[in-house]
Amino acid sequence: MPVILVPSSLRRYTDQQSRVAVTGETVAGTLDNFVGQSSELRNHIFNAGNLRSFIVVCKNGQDIRLLDGLATPVAANDEIRILASIAGG
Amino acid sequence: MSARLTDPALPELGAAELRRFSRHLILPEFGLEAQRRLKAGSALLIGAGGLGSPTALYLAAAGVGRIGLVDPDVVEETNLQRQVAHGHSTLGRPKTESAAARMRDLNPDVVIERHDVFLNVGNALDLIAGYDVVIDGTDNFPTRYLVNDACVKLGKPNVYGGVLRFDGQLSVFDARRGPCYRCLFPEPPPSELAPNCAEAGVLGVLPGVIGALQATEAIKLLTGIGQPMIGRMLVYDGLDLSFTSVDIARAPACPCCSGPRDEIELRETVMVCSAPQVGRSIEADALQARLAGGEALTLVDVRNPSEWLGGTIPQALCLSKPALTEAVDLVLSGGLRPENTLLDALPRDREIVLYCQSGLRSAAVIRSLTAAGYDPSLLYNLEKGFAGWTGPRAEPGEARPRQPAPAD
Ligand SMILES: [Zn+2]
């Protein structure tokens, strides 16, 4: 199953898990399964169906905007990394 | 860069410098020319805090000729858990002064330029124009967007580092050769999704890790050695101890770097809260007047126990946001009756004023309480939170905050 790599700012939605295995054939599908029933988590990542402007998603270390965006196909061993901007210094 | 290899305009190194930097000079990739380029180079550090501490110390020690420090703050005790350029002896002193003293002790030859100001739309271009490399070690989104936009406009490389909790990010944004910060993150998060280090916490050594990497990238940019992190972002996870590099893309429609540079206009970034406003708000002065008048209102400090130790409003009941949220969840799930939880301390028929440090967490608690059946017209959020409170404070040990016993 593909694995979602979760940044610490989102782990309060995942019982503090940093890796969550989910099914899905595209980036959109895996993210949809990842946010699942949590409306709060969905709201943190998506705004009206689009990725929020402070969230970047990578497949196997590449920004999905270098690939096919949310339509990028996902295979069983792929890693989907969510990056959220952080401002602390 | 290679054209500068034998540049006679580069400053010579004296005998003392040749001794001091001998460990650099024997590096085949570095050598005398790179050391001379460092001496000729300049870096501007935006922020002399967690990230700025290690970058300031390492860049001074490495022999960068001129270093600017931009920070309007003074050293506070809570800084010392991670801001290692400062110390007890400089509590209350400007951070730029405190850091400059440590930098001079490491390298008396470095020219240090102190700018005890907030970077703002009016001064950003003038400040940044005077340096070869900019290092973003600020602690807030508006300044990060300002640093980015000014660097893109002036064609300066921006060595970016960000930290929160156990996570770090590092990249070099140079719009002449790759993406800028806005290509990646066009807008800041709404404020309710953007906790800062004071609210979310930061492992003290984390900015040390990321700041040391920022210093590495700055040295590479100034000397021309190695491959800078342009078009890549390093993602550090301190809990798993993993470093991952991801390829990041230039955005064809980037709101900053996709058009002509001279048309970029600096503007202030305002953090907005996108969550619906629930309940009412009250200003610090109005609350102070009502408390002084002896009104029977319930005042609740929803910050964490560690924050209560730094002082509270004297009349406040200390009930942390996690504890209150858990109580609301238990009630909503039907697991417990309200009177068997912390909510028993909060009357439903009287006005309640809630506060946290900035007003964000208390706004979230008001939303939860409303969901649990409280009348939002009786719930007040203290504007600007404890940070904006100028009235009397109960200091630790002076007046013990009242805290009801947790429900069984
Ligand atoms: Zn850009």
CATH number of the domain encompassing residue B347: 3.40.250.10
In a domain, B404, yes or no: no
Residue A74's nearest CA partner among A11, A29, A42 is A29
Given pLDDT bands bounded at 50, 70 and 90, which one contains residue B138? very high
Known catalytic residue: B356?
Answer: yes
Q: Are residues B237 and B285 in the same domain?
A: no
Rounded to an integer, the average pLDDT of B222-248 is: 96
In a domain, B402, yes or no: no
CATH number of the domain enclosing B157: 3.40.50.720
Gap from CA of B186 to ligand 1 centroid (Å): 8
3-state secondary structure B297-338: CEEEECCCHHHHCCCECCCCEECCHHHHHHHHHHHHCCCCCH
In a domain, B406, yes or no: no
In a domain, B45, yes or no: yes
Min Cα distance B367 → chain A (Å) is 13
Gap from CA of B148 to ligand 1 centroid (Å): 9
What pLDDT score was predicted for residue B407?
41
User: CB-CB: which of A44, A56, A81 is closest to B193?
Assistant: A44
Gap from CA of B179 to ligand 1 centroid (Å): 5
Known catalytic residue: B257?
Answer: no
DSSP letter string over A57-71? Answer: EEETTEEGGGTTGGG
What pLDDT score was predicted for residue B340?
85
Which tokens is B90 given?
């400089």
Q: Are residues B190 and B239 in the same domain?
A: yes
Q: Are residues B65 and B153 in the same domain?
A: yes
Beta bridge partners of B401: none
Given pLDDT bands bounded at 50, 70 and 90, which one contains residue A24? very high
pTM: 0.81
Residue-range definition of the domain harbouring residue B286 = 280-388
A89/B251 touch (CB, cutoff 8 Å), yes or no: no
In chain B, how many domains are there?
2
Q: Distance from CA of residue B135 to its chain's centroid?
A: 13
In a domain, B255, yes or no: yes
Which tokens is A40 given?
């709060």
Q: Are residues B126 and B168 in the same domain?
A: yes
Q: For residue B237, which phi and psi values (nearest 5 degrees)?
A: -120, 110
- CATH, range A3-84: 3.10.20.30
Residues B367-386: tens digit of each pLDDT: 889 988 999 999 999 998 99
A8/B246 touch (CB, cutoff 8 Å), yes or no: no
Rounded Cα distance between B3 and B128, Å, is 25
Domain ranges of chain A: 3-84
Rounded to an integer, the average pLDDT of B108-121 is: 96
Rounded Cα distance between B234 and A81, Å, is 12
Show residues of chain A in contact with B233, CB under 8 Å. 83
